[in-house]
Amino acid sequence: MISTLEKAPVIAAHRQHAKDCGSTEVQIAILTERINSLQGHFKGHAKDHAGRRGLLLMVSKRNRLLRYLAETRREDYAALIKKLGLRK
């Protein structure tokens, strides 16, 4: 889990307007941050299967959000994946 202090810069970097904290772009960026932080955890805890299940759930949720964004606003989707370094 990432703390509020770690989440604030991610939200600030991806929000659409001053009070935006839950748009699709922000949700994808927060999930990406959480996924990246968990990947380091699994290098030291290879047998944490419950945590791995949570990671897979987060990855699938991020994929659903990315699919929605790609269908509704293709330009924003392309900019976001480039900014986050996804889909290499």
Tell me the chain's radius of gyration from C-alpha atoms: 14
The predicted pLDDT at position 1 comes to 78
CATH 3.40.50.80 for domain 4-84, yes or no, is: no
The predicted pLDDT at position 87 comes to 80
Q: Is the pTM of this model over 0.85?
A: yes
Please, are residues 46 and 52 in contact by the beta-carbon 8 Å criterion?
Answer: no
Residue 88 scores a pLDDT above 70: no
Average pLDDT over residues 34-51: 93
HSE-CB of 70 using CA atoms within 13 angstroms: 9
- pLDDT tens-place string over residues 10-30: 999 999 999 998 999 999 999
The predicted pLDDT at position 63 comes to 97
